[in-house]
Amino acid sequence: MSALLQARGLRVTGPSGAVLVDGVDLDLAAGEVTALVGESGAGKSLTGLALLGLVPPPARMEAGGVTLGGVDLGALPPRERRRTRGAGIALVPQDPAAALDPVVRVGAQLAEVLRAHAPLGRAEARASAAAALAEVGVDRDDHPHRLSGGQRQRALIAMALAPRPRVLVADEPTASLDAAVQVAVLDLIDQRRRAEGLAVLLISHDLGSVARIAGRVAVMYAGRIVEEGPVRAVLSAPRHPYTAGLLALAPRLGSPGTRVPIPGAPPRPGHLPPGCPFAPRCPAARAACTAARPGLGPAGPGRRVACVLTHREAAALGRTPA
Ligand SMILES: Nc1ncnc2c1ncn2[C@@H]1O[C@H](COP(=O)(O)OP(=O)(O)O)[C@@H](O)[C@H]1O
Ligand SMILES: [Mg+2]
């Protein structure tokens, strides 16, 4: 069965021509959470925005296509495309403070969102807004600045989901929340996934936190997906040394003190080293790694990796802590 949302060859460039998102393919299945993880600057937010056709200038979507339920969004006339996308794909943006007007009560804001998506009367929209907010434990009469970080995030999720989209892109919805609130926000997303068969792209820089609800994971580095597969398989036996590095970085259950940083920093877009862009930071780099950039190839059931290491070499890497 083909995925509900399919993105192919997404390519986003910056003003100077630097490639920010480089040929990304994504399949989002109904009723499944796909995590998109990687360090800051990898291109995660731009990938999520590209799915909605909302790449902000001066960045520009240069190539790629998105189908939703088999409908090629690019082939629709612009008006129809906006409508199909708007009704079908919702976004919880990375910066929640900027997404809510601080001086307008949340109930009134959500009512506006609902009226933009459906032919509702004012009273009807207000009532649905209040109900949607009550469901996530937020009072419609509150102003956004009075909400806690967790309440604000729940209100944004309620707003994103109120028009009943089929796909949700949630960009770092738990960043800056403390652990217990993170769990509550992830559980809210998971509950809606289960109840409504929502397809979710869950963007995070923290591989550890998203594992809780994700079925699949895609790991992004320097604008490309370098590893993807079922979350359990990838977390228990990462095939890319970068994935292994992210895992060592995530706080472990029971031993919160042990975080091993990945040495060095990601390359700046437009200034990629030759070959594999992770090679300068990779504990297993060899001559082949600087000769050519590895493509994303099959690596076991439902898995793909962009690395020259064999399965055995990758496994050995996981057993020897740096
Ligand atoms: N609107 C934009 N115009 C130009 N460059 C951008 C824009 N948004 C992000 N970038 C750059 O693109 C790269 C990827 O950004 P982003 O997708 O936000 O990364 P992530 O979400 O993984 O942290 C970064 O180098 C960032 O500075
Ligand atoms: Mg981001």
Give the list of residues 6+ apart from residue 121 with CB closer than 8 angstroms, or none: none
| pLDDT tens readout for residues 284-293 | 999 999 999 9
Which pLDDT does position 257 carry in this prediction? Answer: 62
Q: Any idea how long the chain is?
A: 322
Nearest CA to ligand 1 atom 12: 20
Q: In angstroms, what is the span from residue 289 Cα to ligand 2's centroid? A: 27
Q: In angstroms, what is the span from residue 91 Cα to ligand 2's centroid? A: 13
Which pLDDT does position 85 carry in this prediction? Answer: 82
Residue ranges in the chain modelled with pLDDT below 70: 1, 96-97, 251-257, 318-322
Which pLDDT does position 319 carry in this prediction? Answer: 58
Domains of the chain: 5-100+165-319 (3.40.50.300)
Which pLDDT does position 116 carry in this prediction? Answer: 78
Which of ligand 1's atoms lies nearest the C-alpha of 47?
17
Q: In angstroms, what is the span from residue 38 Cα to ligand 2's centroid? A: 9
Residue of 11, 36, 46 to mutate, ligand 1, most atoms within 8 A of C-beta: 46
Which pLDDT does position 49 carry in this prediction? Answer: 94
Q: Are strands 33-37 and 216-221 parallel, antiparallel or unpaired?
A: parallel
312: tokens are 């055995």
| pLDDT tens readout for residues 17-35 | 999 999 999 999 999 999 9
Q: In angstroms, what is the span from residue 254 Cα to ligand 1's centroid? A: 34
Which pLDDT does position 322 carry in this prediction? Answer: 43
Which pLDDT does position 115 carry in this prediction? Answer: 83
Q: In angstroms, what is the span from residue 45 Cα to ligand 1's centroid? A: 7
User: What's the DSSP call for residue 145?
Assistant: G
Q: Which residues of 170-209 are buried (b: 16+ CB within 10 A; e: fewer)?
A: bbbbbbebeeebbebbbebbbebbeeeebbbbbbbbbbbb
Tally of CB atoms within 10 A around 240: 29
Nearest CA to ligand 1 atom 16: 43
Q: How far apart, in whole angstroms, are the C-alpha atoms of residue 115 and residue 122?
A: 8
User: What's the DSSP call for residue 1?
Assistant: -
Instruction: List beta partners, residue 67.
Output: 6, 72
Ligand 1: residues with CB < 6 A are: 14, 20, 38, 40-46, 56, 58-59, 269
Q: How far apart, in whole angstroms, are the C-alpha atoms of residue 13 and residue 310?
A: 32
Which of ligand 1's atoms lies nearest the C-alpha of 38?
22
Residue of 20, 22, 47, 60 to mutate, ligand 1, most atoms within 8 A of C-beta: 20
CA neighbor of 157 nearest in space, from 100, 240, 87: 100
Which of ligand 1's atoms lies nearest the C-alpha of 46?
17
Which of ligand 1's atoms lies nearest the C-alpha of 15?
4
Q: How far apart, in whole angstroms, are the C-alpha atoms of residue 309 and residue 258?
A: 26
Q: In angstroms, what is the span from residue 44 Cα to ligand 2's centroid? A: 5
Kind plus residue range of the DSSP H or E element containing 291 = helix 287-291
Q: How far apart, in whole angstroms, are the C-alpha atoms of residue 138 and residue 322?
A: 45
Indicate the angle between helix axes 149-161 and 122-135, nearest 10 degrees.
130
Q: How far apart, in whole angstroms, are the C-alpha atoms of residue 74 and residue 272?
A: 30
Q: In angstroms, what is the span from residue 45 Cα to ligand 2's centroid? A: 4
Which pLDDT does position 290 carry in this prediction? Answer: 95
Task: Report in angstroms the alpha-carbon separations of 272 from 62, 101, 284, 317.
Answer: 19, 39, 19, 24
